[in-house]
Structure 1
Amino acid sequence: MTSEVKVAADQLVAAQPAEKHEHWTLDKKIPIAIILALLAQGGTLAWWAASLEGRVGAAGQAIIELKSKDGEQRADRERSIRLEERIISMLEEQRRMNGKLELLLDERRPRPR
Structure 2
Amino acid sequence: MNKKVLIVDDDPRNIFALKLTLKSRGYQIESCTMAQEAIEILKNDHHFDVVLMDMMMPEMDGYEAIKIIKQTPGIDKIPVIAVTAQAMPEDRQKCIDAGAHDYVSKPIDVDQLINAIEKLL
Please report the TM-score for the alignment, with normalisation by the length of structure 1: 0.15
Larger relative strand fraction: 2
Where relative contact order (Cα < 8 A, 6+ residues apart) is larger, the structure is: 2
Please report the TM-score for the alignment, with normalisation by the length of structure 2: 0.14
Asked which structure has the greater CA Rg, the reply is 1
